[in-house]
Amino acid sequence: MIIKYLKILKYNLIILFCLLGFVSLVFYLLNLIFSGQPRYWEIVHNRSHENLYTEREKIIQIKKNKDRKSEYLSVFDAKYKELNYSGFIVKDECGSRENGYENLIYQSDKNGFRENIDYRYIFSNYILIGDSFVQSICENKPNDLKTNLLNKSNFSFLNLGMKGTNYKQQFLILDQYTKNSNFDGVIWFFYEGNDYENHLNQKTIDHYIIQRNSNDKNLKYELKIDHDISISFRFKVWLAEFIRGTSVFFKFFKNYKKLLNKDDYDSVLNNSKNYLDKKKVKKRYIAYIPSWQKLSLHKLRNYNLYEKHPQIKQLNELKFDVKSIAKKNGFNFIDTEKYFFNLNNPLNVYHYGLNTHFNKLGNEILSNAILENLNYK
């Protein structure tokens, strides 16, 4: 009798392991085919913002390359001081959730924007407008977007990019800080990931511009992430990545809502058009930056499934709407998406392939896309 039960147990265990092996193979193949976005929000963060920053730091701690060498121009360096920026030293403690090695430290200009000489408010070839991707969080000089543009061209740029802003605040920045400026053109960046949001209060613009003078004692680039990471947390991270392909598959059956309030965006660009008409500025560009969500689905392009995915349809509709409204209001449209898809793995433009801001490579590619479309030789 015991032998009989042992045989039954043996067969059941074999069946169980075969099923587990089959399920694991399915998950593996779906990851191989679809890749996609790790389900950190659902599995690691439990759909809660309560410990979001700490949990993101833990993920960076797990992922970061221990042999990475950081190359940047320090604000303490004599070459940096020769640039003669007139504002405060600003420290943005973003590094623990981005590159994992150093924070962003820079000197602002007289109005609180990043690394502009005061003369650029008198004359610039181009004004740069946008959010944190234009401000280049969390990349120090010379790995930021504007320095890349300067090093590859003879143009001058006034960078009015500011994190946390959407197109409404960005127009207010343009209007408020360039009234007495002479410039040839405007490059207005639209980040696909969240610039469509229009719920931010237009009256809070000073909140974004005012920068605090950092205490010299705290001006350390290097940071150390040293969380105690439990086995269960590591398992959650692994699981979130292991099921990402399956998540992409099931999203084929999901409906996605429209993202852009077209009337609202049209109104803002129309106001911008009128403002630029009065200043007789003829060179006007909307530069469209693809989202991490879109680039994470790049493997679908290998199987003729990319255009069929509902989330891609949603994001492409957003791009179409932005492009249409831009052209309607006299802006040239720069689609930078193809420049990122030219990479074997477009996610290499982010830190460790995660949903961060652009790393050095990302800013290099974005600057190349801009200059090529400005017909610069």
Q: What is the pLDDT of residues 358-367, one digit of tens each?
A: 999 999 999 9
Instruction: Report whether pLDDT(285) > 80.
Output: yes
Q: Residue 186: is its pLDDT beyond 70?
A: yes
In angstroms, the CA 105 to CA 172 distance is 26
Instruction: Supply the pLDDT for residue 218.
Output: 64
Q: How far apart are CA 226 and CA 166, in angstroms?
A: 34
CA dist., res. 365 & res. 343, Å (int):
10
Which residue did the predictor score with more confidence, 350 or 25?
350
What order do you get walking across the sheet with 123-129 strand by strand? 157-159, 123-129, 182-191, 283-289, 332-335
Task: Supply 102's token pair.
Answer: 């150093």
Instruction: State in Å, rounded, how far the first CA of the chain is from the last one.
Output: 86
- The CATH architecture one would assign to domain 52-228+254-373 is 3-Layer(aba) Sandwich (3.40)
CB 270 within 8 A of CB 329: yes
Q: Which range has the worst mean pLDDT, 160-174, 210-224, 251-265, 320-334?
A: 210-224
Task: Check residue 37 and give its pLDDT.
Answer: 86
Give which of 345, 338, 346, 328 is closest to 368, Cα–Cα. 338
Whole-model pTM over 0.85: yes
CB-facing half-sphere around the CA of 154: CA atoms within 13 A = 3
pLDDT exceeds 90 at position 4: no
Q: What pLDDT score was predicted for residue 209?
A: 54
242 CB neighbour count, 10 Å cutoff: 18
pLDDT at 32 over 80: no
Lowest mean pLDDT among 109-113, 196-200, 271-275, 279-283: 196-200
CA distances from 155 to 146, 183, 188, 333 (A): 11, 11, 16, 19
Asked whether residue 215 carries a pLDDT value surpassing 80, the answer given is no
Alpha carbon distance 236, 243 (integer Å): 11
The average pLDDT across 347-352 equals 95
More confident residue, 377 or 275: 275
In this predicted structure, what is the pLDDT of residue 376?
46
pLDDT, the chain, mean: 88
The domain ranges of the chain are: 1-33, 52-228+254-373
Q: Give per-residue pLDDT as tens, 90-119.
A: 999 999 999 999 999 999 999 999 999 999
Predicted confidence at residue 27, as pLDDT, reads 64
CA distance 117 to 82: 11
